Amino acid sequence: MQAYQQFINGALVDSHSPDWIEVENPYTNEIISRVPQGDAEDAYAALEAASKSQGAWSKKTVAERAGYLKQMASLIRSSRIELARCLASEQAKVLPLAQVEIDFTADYFDYYAGWARIYEGEIISSDRLNENMFLFRKPIGVVVGICPWNFPFFVMARKVAPALLTGCSIVVKPSSNTPNTTFEFAKLVATLDLPKGVVNFVSGGGKTLGAALSSSSLADMVTLTGSVEAGQEIIRASAENITKVSLELGGKAPAIVFADADIGLAVSRIVASRVIFSGQVCNCAERAYVHSSIYDEFADKFTKAMKAVTKGDPFADPTPDMSSQIDKSQLLKIDAMVSRAKADGAEILTGGKIADSQTGYFYEPTVIAGARQDSEIVQKEIFGPAIPILPFDDYDEAIALANDCEYGLTSSVFSTNINTVMQSLRDLKFGETYVNREHFEGLQGFHAGWRKSGIGGADGKHGLMEYLQSQVAYIQF
Ligand code: NAD
């Protein structure tokens, strides 16, 4: 069984802690690896290394730093098959989707390498005679990147690539469920002549290692992708040192299907969105609102399509639509939420229970009708293959129902009427809206949540800016 080491100050090293975290393949239920249960000493060692290296790293030319990003992209591509298999086995992501994540991650490093000669400072007109004002953009310093288990490889790159390009150094903590691909990447990074300490990978619990990292005075920024609860704890931890936080948190994405929508398209897109990676994707449809004139037809077709969803071995050929949930606690959480919805009077159109299976943590694809707007199943992130569908009577009601939620990450609209689409884009209060399609943002966009879905964001020009701070110089001549 593979036993990974921490990657600190340019070397694969043993943890200060004698304890280990066992990593389970969620589909086979076998223990496939172990990673150190890192502690506060590991946190300090990694942050110290990042802190010591950051000054010299930021003084390299941006083109030179971009060169390392390109090398990382190329290393990922050279191991793309092995990395995809590693990812599929640590999280039961179907192999083709795991491959998409690995390939997209390589593209992500290349994309941010391309920003090397593009981001700029500013020259500002002064109110004084014979004075220029320069606005420099400087790296924020030492970044702590804390990652979730659902897209562990891509989210790691989402933090490492902009940090390194801008001259920051970084300490990354993967989720304890899915550390393997990150540590396989660490082994690849160890083969580069990257200055020591610029990138560090440490494993450990959120409330222990994660808390030690995010409360440290050595951290200049903490970027978390994870749950609202973890985001709240990181805000509290950042208070002492007024550390910058960038938080990408949960979602409860509404999908609105207007009366003039292409119903077949809406059904296929929303079903695919709800079951991709077994419903464990932050930006995928979590609740559907359907115009009452087409509700019955939609509900019928949608239920049939959810019944037809295939599930099984993530390595199987042909590929099933979905596989196991990440672990038993997630499976039980989904089942408990659906059970409470039933007890609250909702009707289960299909599914509604844990699936029979020899191995893995499978949940039946589930459609729920008749749930109240203010009920838990409509308001709280479920993160599994279950979705409530609710009718609405007019445009204003649809928008009000969609906006009535503490999350504000993503949303979607299905309509063939350009006016309805444009009005929806004006009125929906979400960081992202997909029109006549579902899930997955572009690397050149800006993935950012409103309300409890986060602060700050990632990708594109605006994602790069998160890692930069300004310095204004007043120059008399
Ligand atoms: P989680 O919050 O349980 O864990 C995320 C990371 O935070 C893990 O590495 C964990 O160890 C760490 N952590 C937990 N408590 C911490 C603390 N007190 N201090 C420091 N670190 C701590 O989330 P998860 O279960 O891994 O991921 C699922 C969640 O992530 C869902 O809510 C999903 O919507 C969200 N997510 C959001 C996005 C986005 O882009 N907005 C993307 C992917 C996942």
Q: What is the pLDDT of residues 82-104, one digit of tens each?
A: 999 999 999 999 999 999 999 99
Whether 433 has a pLDDT exceeding 90, the answer reads yes
Is 2-249+453-476 assigned to CATH 3.30.70.100? no
Kind of pairing, strands 253-257 and 285-291? parallel
Q: Which CATH superfamily is domain 253-442 in?
A: Aldehyde Dehydrogenase; Chain A, domain 2 (3.40.309.10)
Q: Across the strands, what pairs with 387?
A: 367
Residue 209, H or E segment: none
How many CA atoms, within 13 angstroms, populate the side-chain half-sphere of residue 129? 0
Q: What is the pLDDT of residue 225?
A: 97
Residue 439 has pLDDT above 90, yes or no: no
Distance 254 CA to ligand 1 centre (A): 21
In the chain, residues under CATH classification 3.40.309.10 are 253-442
165 alpha carbon – ligand 1 mean position (Å): 24
Residue 62 pLDDT > 90: yes
Structure tokens at 141: 């310093």
Burial track 225-241 (b if 16+ CB lie within 10 A, e otherwise): bbbbebbebbbebbeee
Q: How far apart are CA 5 and CA 34, in angstroms?
A: 9
Euclidean distance between the first and the last CA atom of the chain, given in angstroms as a whole number: 67
Whether residue 1 is predicted with pLDDT greater than 90 in this model: the reply is: no
- Residue with the smallest CA separation from ligand 1 atom 37 is 249
**Helix/strand/coil (H, E, C) string of 278-302?**
HHCCCCCEEEEEEECCCHHHHHHHH
Distance CA 327, CA 177 (A): 8
DSSP 347-374: EEEE--SBPP-SSS--B--EEEES--TT
Q: How far is the CA of 76 from the centre of ligand 1 (A)?
A: 24
Place of tokens 């503490």: 406
The Cα–Cα gap between 373 and 84 comes to 39
Atom of ligand 1 nearest to the CA of 177: 26
- Closest protein CA for atom 30 of ligand 1: 226
Helix (H, G, I), strand (E, B) or coil at 476: strand
Cα separation, 280 vs 273, whole angstroms: 10
pLDDT at position 217 over 90: yes
Q: Which residues are catalytic?
A: 248, 282
Q: What is the pLDDT of residue 349?
A: 98
- Ligand 1 atom closest to Cα of residue 148: 26
Closest CA to 158 of 476, 467, 477, 475: 467
d(CA 278, CA 364): 10
The residue contributing the CA closest to ligand 1 atom 39 is 248
Helix (H) or strand (E) holding 216: none
Per-residue tokens: 132: 């220029």
Residue 147 Cα to ligand 1 middle (Å): 6
Give distance in angstroms: CA of 228 to centre of ligand 1: 8
Q: What DSSP designation does 458 have?
A: B
Distances from the Cα of 193 to the Cα of 10, 68, 298, 472, angstroms = 9, 9, 57, 34
CA of 227 to the centre of ligand 1 (A): 4
Per-residue pLDDT tens digits for 232-259: 999 999 999 999 999 999 999 999 999 9
CA 225–ligand 1 middle distance (angstroms): 5
pLDDT at 343 over 90: yes
Which residue among 227, 247, 410 has the greatest number of ligand 1 atoms within 8 angstroms of its CB, and so is best to mutate?
227
The residues, any chain, with a CB within 8 Å of residue 325's CB and separated by 6 or more, are 26, 92, 278, 280, 331, 334, 360, 361, 362, 363, 384
Q: Is the pLDDT of residue 210 over 90?
A: yes
For residues 36-48, average pLDDT: 97
CA distance 407 to 78: 39
Percent of the chain with pLDDT over 90: 99
**Ligand 1: which residue has its CA nearest to atom 13?**
206
| Residue closest by Cα to atom 26 of ligand 1 | 148
Q: Which atom of ligand 1 is nearest to the CA of 234?
A: 19
Q: Give the ligand 1 atom nearest the CA of 229.
A: 2
- The structure tokens listed for 332 are 């039980």
pLDDT for res 350 = 98
Give CATH 3.40.605.10 domain extents, the chain. Answer: 2-249+453-476
**Could you tell me where the beta strands, DSSP code E, fall in 142-183?**
142-146, 169-173
pLDDT tens, 129-162?
999 999 999 999 999 999 999 999 999 999 999 9
Beta strand 6-8 pairing with 2-3: unpaired
Closest to 283 in 3D by CA, of 251, 247, 315, 323 = 251
The answer, as to whether pTM is greater than 0.85, is: yes
Atom of ligand 1 nearest to the CA of 226: 30
Q: CA-CA distance, 92 to 75, in Å (whole number)?
A: 24
The three-class DSSP label of residue 135 is strand
Q: Give the pocket of ligand 1 (CB within 6 Å).
A: 146-151, 173, 175-176, 206-207, 210-211, 214, 224-227, 230, 233-234, 248-251, 282, 381, 383, 409, 447, 449, 454
- Cα separation, 80 vs 59, whole angstroms: 32
Probe ligand 1: pick from 37, 150, 466, max atoms within 8 Å of CB?
Answer: 150
Q: In this predicted model, what pLDDT tens digit does every residue of 375-420 receive, in sequence order?
A: 999 999 999 999 999 999 999 999 999 999 999 999 999 999 999 9
- Atom of ligand 1 at shortest range from CA of 173: 9
The helix or strand, by DSSP H or E, that contains position 437, with its residue range, turns out to be none
Alpha carbon nearest to ligand 1 atom 42, residue: 282
**Which of 42, 90, 172, 175 has most ligand 1 atoms within 8 Å of its beta carbon, as the pocket-test mutant?**
175
Residues 266-289 pLDDT 10s = 999 999 999 999 999 999 999 999
- In a mutational test of the pocket of ligand 1, which residue from 172, 224, 325 has the highest number of ligand atoms less than 8 Å from its CB? 224
Instruction: Catalogue the E-assigned strands of 96-227.
Output: 122-125, 131-139, 142-146, 169-173, 199-201, 221-225
Residue 476, pLDDT > 90, answer: yes
CB 289 within 8 A of CB 390: yes
DSSP 206: I
Give the number of the atom of ligand 1 that is nearest the alpha carbon of residue 453: 41
Mean pLDDT score of the chain, rounded to an integer? 97
What is the Cα–Cα distance from 286 to 282, expressed in whole angstroms? 9
% of residues, the chain, pLDDT over 70? 100
Neighbours of 74 (CB within 10 A): 13
Q: Is the peptide bond before 318 cis (omega within 30 degrees of 0)?
A: yes
How many whole angstroms separate alpha carbon 388 and alpha carbon 370?
Answer: 8
Q: Whose CA is nearest to atom 36 of ligand 1?
A: 226
